[in-house]
Amino acid sequence: MRLFIAAEIPAPIIHRLGALIEHLRGEIAGPRWVKPEGIHLTFKFLGEVNEQDLPRLSGALGAAMKPMMSSATPPLVVSLAGIGTFPERGRAKVLWVGLREPTGGLETTHRRVAQAVQSAALVPVRGRERVFSPHLTLARFGEGPTPAGLAHAIATCNEALEPSGESFEVASVCLFQSLLKPGGAEYRKLEEYPL
């Protein structure tokens, strides 16, 4: 099973991101656009995991998220924070909307997810992990050069997006299965862990 751990995005934000994608389609040629209903905040991509390992993973994730359920923990409110690309320099591979969360709660959630996965011993521990950079993927670029007009489209959208202050609460983390289909990946929620 191809698995990842992520937070769902509320429908009003998905609708806003869908409108943004439609706008950008007219400005940028060439990328593979994400289906708005498939947008999520990924904390950890696991890849292939044996089905018999699911109970161990689920138990580890449930235990890792319990301390965050304390009534003393403030709600995890995240704001949309501009558009950019990975990598920041050179040929663009991913177009994304950034997320801002001033309390450090996203980083804490990411760290707890990573610890749960490590404690479940499902994925080999690699050298250095990538730095967690909370974002929502809008599009992926192929092997060709960075599309003309990308920098201008990003600057224009950032002017429109930044003052909006649109925000949403991350209330849970979910374990998803990614099903690769000819029309693109489909995601099935297997478990949900309240924060």
CB 138 within 8 A of CB 40: no
Question: Minimal CA–CA distance to 91: which of 146, 138, 144?
Answer: 146
Predicted local distance difference test score (pLDDT) of residue 71: 58
Dihedral sign from CA coordinates of 12, 92, 99, 192: positive
DSSP 8-state symbol, 167:
E
Predicted local distance difference test score (pLDDT) of residue 123: 59
CB 97 within 8 A of CB 164: no
Residue 152: CB atoms within 10 A of its CB come to 11
pLDDT tens sequence across 27-42:
898 899 999 999 999 9
Confidence of residue 127 (pLDDT cuts 50, 70, 90): very low
For the chain, counts of helices (H) and of strands (E): 4, 9
Phi-psi region at 42: left, alpha or beta (left = phi > 0; alpha = psi -120 to 50):
beta
